[in-house]
């Protein structure tokens, strides 16, 4: 006979009763196992350590797998965030780069100008023959003749024949002057001839302009002279125009008697140059006369 529905109690279900009974059994088993482990830890430490390591051996793979799953799940939001916002971040970085690139180029230009002007100032302070520092406002780098124009003339003390140089080397010499301008004959002009000497052995030579931006180095008073690529030539002071020791050119190709060379100073890359006084070596002292015997 089935009991009425209104008389059913919470524990009337067999399934619920079995569940409660199983819970009690597990609780009692847990207490017993805990008590056994407690007693083993106190009275049999080696046995307890073995049991602990056995449990750890069984649980470590599961713990490692769970850790890997948790790390993978934690990476997913970052990956989604990076994938969603990568395009916007890329566009922002491109905009910042477009703003920074002109500033970087300007900073490099300023640094280069500062280094070059500092060398020019050092040259002016070191050379006592300096007349003035002037700007090279133009140069004829593409025509058959090689001239440059300075923005300083007679009012600044510039006179024809004065050498013009840059920190890198000799530029040329002044050929015409006005009140506030001067015309400079560049080394590469075909009418330019500069006495030079080789730095490693003092070999005299002539640096002659070719009209194409380069120079010819020609031997003087000698034949079968061997020039090597990379030989350096400086002014020798012969002729009385240029101070000795100003860098002039470097040999581009090896050869005999006459070789191609490149000047150190490139007028098309200069904006300032120094005008110096004409170098006039002192004449040799007259030989001392022997003292006449007194009568």
For residue range 238-278, list pLDDT tens digits in order.
888 888 888 999 999 999 889 999 999 888 777 788 888 88
Asked whether the predicted pLDDT for residue 228 surpasses 80, the reply is yes
> Among candidates 209, 201, 241, 206, which has minimal Cα distance to 220?
206
Q: Tokens in use for 38?
A: 């407690």
Q: How confident is the model at residue 234 (pLDDT cuts 50, 70, 90)?
A: very high
Q: Which of 6-10, 20-24, 78-82, 156-160 is the least confident region? A: 6-10
Share of the chain above pLDDT 90, in %: 19
H or E element in which residue 14 lies? helix 14-43
Share of the chain above pLDDT 70, in %: 65
Is the pTM higher than 0.85? The answer reads no
Q: Tokens in use for 15?
A: 């399934």
Mean pLDDT value of segment 107-126: 59
The average confidence (pLDDT) of the chain is 77
Asked whether the predicted pLDDT for residue 126 surpasses 50, the reply is yes
pLDDT at 244: 87
Strand segments (E) across 51-91: none
What class does CATH assign to 130-276? mainly beta
Per-residue pLDDT tens over the stretch 139-168: 765 556 788 888 888 998 999 999 998 888
Q: Are 215 and 249 in contact (CB under 8 A)?
A: yes
Place of tokens 């990476």: 75
The length of the chain in residues reads 295
Asked whether the predicted pLDDT for residue 282 surpasses 60, the reply is no
Q: Are 273 and 149 in contact (CB under 8 A)?
A: no
Domain boundaries, the chain: 44-126, 130-276
User: Rounded to an integer, what distance in angstroms lies between the CA atom of residue 169 and that of residue 196?
Assistant: 13
pLDDT at 1: 47
């Amino acid at each position: 006979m089935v009991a009425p529905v209104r008389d059913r109690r919470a524990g009337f279900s067999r399934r619920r009763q079995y569940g409660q009974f199983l819970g009690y059994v597990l609780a009692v088993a847990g207490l017993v196992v805990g008590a056994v482990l407690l007693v083993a830890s106190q009275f049999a430490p080696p046995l307890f350590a073995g049991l602990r390591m056995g449990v750890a051996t069984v649980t470590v793979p599961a713990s490692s797998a769970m850790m890997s799953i948790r790390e993978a799940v934690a990476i997913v939001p970052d990956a989604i965030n990076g994938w969603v916002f990568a395009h916007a971040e890329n566009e922002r970085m491109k905009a910042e780069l477009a703003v920074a690139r002109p500033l970087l180029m300007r900073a490099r230009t300023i640094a280069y100008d500062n280094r070059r002007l500092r060398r020019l100032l050092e040259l002016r302070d070191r050379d006592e023959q300096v007349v003035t520092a002037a700007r090279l406002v133009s140069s004829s780098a593409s025509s058959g003749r090689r001239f440059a124009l300075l923005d300083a003339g007679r009012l600044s003390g510039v006179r024809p024949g004065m050498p013009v140089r840059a920190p890198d080397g000799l530029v040329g010499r002044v050929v015409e002057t006005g009140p506030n301008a001067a015309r400079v004959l560049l080394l590469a002009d075909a009418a330019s001839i500069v006495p030079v000497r080789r730095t490693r052995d003092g070999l005299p030579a002539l640096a002659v302009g070719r009209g194409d931006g380069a120079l010819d180095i020609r031997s003087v008073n000698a034949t079968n002279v061997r020039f090597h690529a990379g030989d350096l030539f400086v002014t020798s002071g012969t002729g009385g125009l240029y101070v000795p020791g100003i860098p002039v050119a470097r040999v581009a190709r090896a050869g005999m008697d006459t070789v191609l060379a490149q000047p150190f100073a490139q007028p098309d890359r200069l904006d300032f140059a120094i005008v110096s006084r004409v170098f006039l070596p002192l004449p040799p002292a007259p030989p001392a006369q022997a003292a006449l015997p007194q009568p």
